[in-house]
Structures are given as structure tokens and as C-alpha cells.
Structure 1
Amino acid sequence: MKRYIFLLFIGLSALSCKKLIETGDPKNQLTTDKVFADSTSATAALGNLYAQFERGFEPNLTPNIGLYTDELNVTSTGTNESEFLQSRLSVTNSTNLGLWQVLCAVIYGCNDLLEKTKSSPEFPVSKVTQLTSEARFLRAYAYFYLVNLYGRVPLLLSTNAKSNRQAAQNDQTEVFQQINTDLQAAKQGLTEVYLGPGKTRANKWAAGAMLARVYLNQKNWAAAEDEASQVIGSGLYLPLDAAADVFKSGSKESILQFWTQQGFISSSANLLPASDTSLPAYPITDALYTSFEAADVRKSNWTGTSIVTTAGVSETYHYSAKYKNKEAGSGSPEYLMALRLSEQYLIRAEARAWLGRLPEAKQDLNVIRHRAGLLNTTAGNQQELLEAIARERRVELFNEWGARFIDLKRTGTINAVLGSYKNTWKPTAAWFPIPQSEINYNNKLIQNLGYN
């Protein structure tokens, strides 16, 4: 099983959207005919798609999107990091290309799995339903980030080279409609039961939690409130863990985590310094650090401090420490958190605030505040409550899957916040550039404004 996953990861991680629209099967050491010959190998292929988020996408997204916004600084910059820090990406930025490529590789793999499993006579109906539901969940998860980073993107739902070769971009509304369709189908096809180790494969509530996130992004308050309520009401993820235990592999509030073979996430190598006297590569900003209230236990549990002495002069740096492990052998293994219950409370709080249900919104917000060791919110009206929820999202979800960037965009505050934070910010930076290599291949692609 591990060999299947390794070979597939090597092959698929090299794909770009150019390859997605250019070829049929990915060229790797294990052909797709063999991959989908039985349910065991098909499940291994599915496992590879999950693995690409933990190994290929998130480790590049988290530090760089933190630089791009107001969450992280960097202590040693190359060209790519400098462009993210200034929020001025070039169309040839290799990290940006890598983000695009991994998402497209996942989408290709999901399309391939959907096509092959449905057409295979070797698969029982129950197995087809399970595999295709998870594939649709992962395709929606990938498209959510593709559309939030790049805006208008090609909506590719097959591996047919002829039909995809000159695919034009779709409006964001169309992409979100497909995301909703995929997640609704996944939710219907999946059960509450988790397969595999821990909570590392999507179940019914993972699809519901992702739907709640997507509906919030679309400002569909009623639907976001309903989906979040169903997840919370399932009772599977309560009580909330203590702050120190949230990101461990056995976290009660985790709805979906990406499995890690060594017990530590790939991002840790970048975010955690070698010791508390070593210089962090990506220290958190003063703006983020000072946004925590004094009594907030998240500040003491989810951030670390390094005191670095150079030539007799000491300087203090703070860094993200939600995850503690950076090498194998820990007695408390950590998996990469993808979806968790605290976010669902904050989604429901915001949706209820917009719906005018202020007492219920406050109650949800206070659940998160109490876990953080804080008193009830003092917000008195709708606007104050929405601002309080936004502040809570910032300190609860910092350095998690670009939540800060997505939140600033969906609330329409990105230009005001980042424009006042960095003098290099331009309104067109709300969208990343489509990699030039993709445009060179497909002349139907139109570059985002500000990058020509």
C-alpha cells in the first residue's frame, strides 16, 4: 500500500493544469489500469490525493500566504519569499506555480478516479459510492482554494484531452456551483463512519463542514447556519479539546485531518525553529501577536518565543506553534488539521449575526472564547458582534489554510487592512497571477488584472 502511494505521489505531483488538459493518464511507474484493477489499489490512489494536500500544497500555502497578508514575517528572503512579503507576485513565481500545479494534480486525480471506478466491473456499488464521494469531496476542496486564490479558473470535470485542451475560464459563480454540487453529493454518499486511521478520510460531516465554509464564503447565511448546526448537532466532536490538545492526532474536535506518516506535519520544518534560542524562519508579526487578549490561552499554547542573541544583543521573536513536532518519534503524533468544530461555531456565529439572531450568535462566539479562557463578548449590536467574530476568527484560525486571506476578501476589508499594513499593497493583489507557463500553453486563459 505504501509503495502504491509513493509512486503515485511522485507521478501526480509533477502535473500542472497544462498536463491536466493535455494528457489522459498521468505518466508514472504505476499505470492507471493497474491502479484501478481492484479496490485496494484504487483506495491507495485516493490516499495519494489526500497526501498531496499535506505534502505539497499546505506547506507552501501556509508560510507564503502568511507573508502575503499580515500574519508572518521572514528572516531570510529569496526572490519568491520577497514577492509574497510585498504582495507583488510575478507571473513566473515558482511557489505560485507550485500551488497551482498541486491543486490541478488533485483535480486530475479525482477526475481520473471518478471515471475509472464508475466504469470498472470489479467494484461493488458500495465501494464505488465511497470512493467517488471522497473524490468529489477532494475535488471540491481543491477547487475552493483554486477559485479563492486565482478567481476565474477553468472548470475541468474530466480527463478528456480533446475537450479540455483549450478550456476557457469559468466565472467564480459557476465554479462555486460545482463545488456545492460535489459537496452535496459527497455528503449524501458518505456516512458518519471514518475509514482508515483516525479521522483522515472524509465522512458525511466533513462534507457538511466544508459546505458550511463554502456557504459562508458565498454569503448564504441561512445555508451556512444550517450546515454548521448539523455538524455541531451530530455530537461527534464535543466537547472541545483544551487548547494544548487541539492539533494532536486524537483531537476530539477534528472533523478531518490529513494523515502524516512520521507524526509531524510538513509545515513544521518551516515554522518551528531548531530551539528557543534559534532564529525562526517565519516569525509571526507584531500585528498578529498583539491581537490576542492578555488572558487568551491560545497565545501561550499556540505561539512560541525565541530569544536570539547576536554579538551580545538579544532580540525576541514569536512564532506559530500550533503544531509542536518536527521529527519522528513523538509520543503525541500530530496530523494536519483540515476541518475542526471551532470553525463551525464561528461560521454559525457569523451567519446568525447576519440573520439578526444576535443572542444565539453571541452564545456560539462565547463557546470559543470560554475555551480560550476569556469572558463573554461585550459586543452590543450587530456591527460590534460581526467585528468581534472577525477578531476571534483571526486569533483562532491564524496560519490555517489561508483563512486570514480568504476572510479579508470575503468581508471586503482586504484593501483597507493590507493597504494600511504594507505600502506595497495594490487592490489587484487580491488575486494571485495565473502562472505564465499555463497561459503560454493555453491561449484561452486570460491573466488577472495587474499582472500584464
Structure 2
Amino acid sequence: MKKQIISLGTLACLAMAGCDNSLDNVVNQVSYNDDTYFTTPATISEAVTATYGLMLYKGLYSRDFYYLMDLTGNEAEADAPLLGDVLQLHDYSYAPNHAQINDLWSTAYKVTFRANLVIDKAAKVVPANDADKAKLTQYTSEAYFLKAYAEFLLVTLWGRVPIRKDYTENSEFYLPRASTEEVWKQVESDLANAIAGLPVAYANPAADLGRATKGAAIALLGKSYLYQKKYAEAAAQFELLTKAPYAYDLVPNLDELFTKSPVKNAETVFDIPHKAWGGWAEGSPYYMFGSQEGSGSGKNTLTGRAMEYGWNDWRNVFISDAAVNAFTYKDEAGKTYVDPRAKNTFYGDKASGGDVTYCDNCTGGAKPYPYAENGNGYRWRKYEPYEYKEKGELPQSDINSQVVRYADVLLMLAEAHVNSGKIAEALPLINKVRTRSAAFAYTTLGSKDEAMKKIMLERQLELSGEQVRWFDLIRWGIAKQTLNAEKKAKYPASSQSFFQDKHVLFPIPLTEKNTNPLVAKDISDDWN
């Protein structure tokens, strides 16, 4: 089946790694189809760029993904300005027609479609020389990685889903749901293909920001094994990233990752760069609210999180009481201890460990300013610009979204070791993460159960607000008991049962049910 290639220049301009303005001069673009257009390494590159561009589309990192994961995982709590369907995420009142859930589902399948196109068309291009051959291998491998990431989201959030294995299958309008085992097998296969062809690093890192690397694919494969409880296989992948040729390490200060956008650092394994590539003259700063590929957004690849979460801006959310309280716990002597990472994570009062000043690095005026907790409550500091500017003023944050970073890898490796009975090997990994932020080092992790509790806490503290906790709670099987206990502590007078058994998976979107009869007949209780 032939597909018309319409406005590919617009797709390519959602670039993670640049955009070729020469496309503006192509004659009769609408006369192309997928067989006649994607015939050179240059056009395959455009298709890869358009696939990366979906990371900034509805449901993902320009907007929505932070709401979806932080509110359902109770790391963020709704403030009064938070309205509409986003508010439903906070109390699990969402339904199969929920807009953001539907958008994430749709965008994930768009990623698989475009990635499959790249893989199919690149295989048919005859390279003119070794350089072209190397480029085609790289582009294909990037597509495999992006496809696997989309499939990872689908299987972890929805379980059994239709899976489009290749481009020729896209001509099949309806596909049934595959088993979770089949989807995981596809994720593993796609990541193996990605690992085989991706570079350890790019020759020009500044020009290739955001591109997947071999290390990113290895990390995602290890994570996929961990989620399936294949602990030995997971550990083997993570351990690769701790030694040459990989040079990952922890940056000295978390602020290097979360209060300003880094150009390059040793901790990032895979991230989504946010940048105003061409200036606001090329598009509206509010492009994230519309159709990002058709609203004249130009080259802007920014995120609205800082503005929407910002206490000195739109004030849509607080950091949850449960997240704040987790930073105060007992040390090994049984004494109350406030973890120093609290100051990097949220603004609050001295007792909570939160940062009590902001604008510490602003220029001009009498600064820093005191943070007035009374009336503001506890508010996010991570992913906010307030150490460098008083207000965000527009939804134009350029603080990169961390998808996988080295601290996460170390903690996942520690978890794999603990579940394989290698508790002693997990101890230095956890302590490496803790001591980076000057938290005390554990002398022992105790029994397997005690070690897992420490890892669970460590992941909650270190990765707070990074869209990780929901996934952790679900895969550990403790989401219902944990989240309902947190909600009950916050709303003791409420008789509502917030998290129900069905919420371990998102509802299959109503749009899929209405258009795919093979899926519609396979949904239980109008949910999943």
C-alpha cells in the first residue's frame, strides 16, 4: 500500500539533531509516495528525524507524559489550577476516553509506524560508498531503538497490545492483541538489532544531541529484562555500561541535570533534548497544546513542564506529601535522618530538607530570595529554572528530559543483584549513588527483603519526579497498597477507594475499541 508523503519538511523540523532547509525547494512534494521518496541516505535520515520528533508529540515529552506518570504515581498532587481530564489522573477517575492516555497510545503507534518505514526503506537503498552504508546502518539501528522504546511503553502500560512487527504489516488495518510475552520478545529482538548497529558515541556529539547510542539500547534491554524478572540477563546488560568502552559516570551535582539544560554530561544515557532551535519567530511557544507537527511550531522542541509545574508560574501541581515525607527516614542507628537530596528536589522548609531559597544564581537585584513555604506548600525544584530565573513566563523550558541516566542504571543493576542473591555486590552500587549527594553510606543491606526495601526507597528519592515511580510500583506489585495508603494519609476523611485492581493497566483507548473489532471483542469490563 502506497502512502503519500505530505509535508515531510515539517516532520523533519521536529529535529532532535537538526533540519535540512533545502527541502523547502523540492518541487511537487505531494507527488511522492513512500517508494519514490525514501531512496537515498538523506531521505532515510529525514524519516529517522521525524521518528525522533514524535518524542515531542502528544502524550510524550513536550507535554502530557509528566502529568500521566507523576499524578498516577502520586509524586505530583493537583493544585487548584489543574483542571479537566488531567485532574482525573490524580484520583484515578479516568476512563477509556481519557485524552492524554489516548494520545500516548496513539503516539507510541506512530513511532512504531515511522520506525518500521525507516527499517523497510533503508534496506532497499543501494549505498554509493562505505560512508553511505555506515549511515544507513546507523539510521536503521536508531529506528529499531525508537520502535523498541514505544513497544516498551505499550507493554508496560497496557499489557497485551497489537504489535506491528514490520512495515509490510502496516497494510493490515486490524490486528489482534498479542500476548505480553510476544510483545516483550519483539522488544528484545528490536533492541538486539539496535545494539548491533548503534555507535558507542557520535563523532560530533554537539550535532547529534538526543540520538540513541549503543549504551542507550543496552540500558533499555537491561530494563526490559528486569521488568520481566530475568535478573541474570538484566545484570549482564547493565554491567556492560560500567566498564570500557563506556564512560558513564555520575555528575557531581544533580543540579547539572535538572535546573539547566546540559549540552553533554557523563550521566545521561538517553534523554530528550529541549531547545529553541530557530527562535520563537518560527512558531508559537504554545505549540505543545496543538498539533505539534502542523501548528507552525518550527524548530522548537521545548517542554511545558517547568511552566505548568512551576510555583511561580502556572502552579498546576505540588510535589506530593508522600514524596516529601520519603526524604525523612531512619539511619542505621535508628535516628531520624533527612536525605540531602531533598534540597535538590523540592522547595520547602528547613525541617523537610527542601531548598529554602531560590534565584541563587540569578543576575542583578537582591538575591537569593527566600522561599515562602507558607501558602506555597512544597513545590518542585527539579526540572525548574528558579535557581537561574525568577519566573519561567512561557512554556519554553529547555531542561532536557532524562529518560535513562546512569544513576538509574546502577540502581537497576543493584536490584538485579539482590534478586539474584548477590546482595554484597549491590551495596557499593547503592552507596555510589547515595554518596554523590552526600547521603550516608550503608554498611549493610541486610536480608534480601531489607535490601529490596532500601532499593525501593533509593529509587523513590534519587529518581523523584522523573516518571519512574509509577512503573516501579506496578512492576513490584505494590501499587495498590502503597498509593491507597498515601492517599488515605492525605485525605483521611475520604471513603473513596482511589486505586483499584484494574488500574495496574491503563484502559484500552476508546478510539482503538471503536475502530478495531479484533481489539474490541478482547476487552474486559470496558477497560483492558
- Number of the residue aligned with 1:41: 43
Partner of 2:414: 349
Shift of 1:117: 1.0
Aligned to 2:84: 79
**Structure 2 unaligned regions, length at least 5:** 1-6, 15-28, 278-300, 329-336, 349-355, 358-371, 386-391, 488-496
Aligned mate of 2:236, from 184, 204, 226:
226
User: SS where residue 242 of structure 2 aligns?
Assistant: helix
- Residue of 266, 271, 281 corresponding to 1:257: 271
Match of 2:449 among 370, 383, 390: 383
Question: Quick one: which of 163, 179, 188 aligns to 2:187?
Answer: 179
1:319 Cα deviation after fit:
2.8
Return the letter of the residue paired with 1:155: I
Tell me which residue corresponds to 1:286.
321
Distance 1:132 1:261 in 2: 25
Partner of 1:430 in structure 2? 504
Distance 1:9 1:414 in 2: 39
* Structure-2 separation of matches of 1:101 and 1:162: 14
- Is the CA contact 1:273–1:281 (under 8 Å) kept in the aligned structure 2? yes
Identity %: 24
1:68 to 66, 72, 82: 72
Q: Alignment partner of 2:379: what SS?
A: strand
- Corresponding letter in the other structure for 2:510: Q
**Where do residues 53-452 of structure 1 align in structure 2 (5 Å cutoff)?**
53-56=55-58, 57-58=60-61, 59-75=63-79, 76-122=81-127, 124-160=132-168, 164-194=172-202, 197=206, 199-234=209-244, 235-247=246-258, 248-262=262-276, 265-273=302-310, 275=312, 280-293=315-328, 294-305=337-348, 314-325=374-385, 326=392, 334-377=399-442, 379-400=445-466, 402-422=467-487, 423-446=497-520, 448-451=523-526
Q: Distance in 1 between matches of 2:263 and 2:346?
A: 19
TM-score (norm: length of structure 1): 0.86
Aligned residues: 425
What is the root-mean-square deviation in Å for CA atoms of aligned residues? Answer: 2.9
Report the Cα offset of residue 191 of structure 1: 2.1
CA deviation after TM superposition for structure 1 residue 66, in Å: 1.4
The Cα of 1:283 is off from its aligned counterpart by 1.1
More helix by share: 1
**SS, match of residue 297 in structure 1:** coil
Q: Verify the 8 A CA contact 2:250 2:266 in the aligned structure 1.
A: yes
Change (3 A) 1:8 1:28: farther
How far apart are residue 29 of structure 1 and its match? 10
Cα 1:32–1:74, aligned 2, differ >3 Å: closer, same or farther? farther
On the 8 A contact 1:39/1:127 being kept in 2, the answer is yes
Per-residue CA distance 1:150-170 (angstroms, 9 max, x = gap): 111011023346752221000
* 2:164 aligned counterpart, secondary structure: coil
Q: Which 4+ stretches in 1 moved above 6 angstroms?
A: 27-30
Q: For residues 260-293 of structure 1, give each alpha carbon's deviation from its aligned partner in whole angstroms, at most 9, with x where no partner exists.
A: 2228841424544262xx5621211100011114
Distance 1:321 1:205, change over 3 A: same
Aligned to 1:15: none
* Aligned equivalent of 1:13: none
- Alpha-carbon distance in 1 for matches of 2:400, 2:311: 20
1:233 match: secondary structure: coil
Name the CA shift for 1:60/1:279 in 2 (closer, same or farther; >3 Å): closer
Asked if 2 retains the 8 angstrom alpha-carbon contact of 1:199 and 1:254, the reply is no
Q: CA deviation at 1:84?
A: 1.0
Q: Distance in 2 between matches of 1:432 and 1:448?
A: 12
Deviations 1:213-237 (A, max 9, x none): 1111011111111111101213411
Pick which of 213-222 and 114-123 moved more. 114-123
Match of 2:364 in 1: none
Distance 1:435 1:201, change over 3 A: same
Q: Is the CA contact 2:270–2:404 (under 8 Å) kept in the aligned structure 1? A: yes
**CA offset at residue 379 of structure 1?**
3.0
Q: Does 1:6 align with 2:80?
A: no
Unmatched runs of 5 consecutive residues or more in structure 1: 11-26
Contact 1:271 1:319 in 2 (8 A): no
Cα displacement (A) at 1:317: 2.2
CA contact (8 A) 2:39 2:124 kept: no
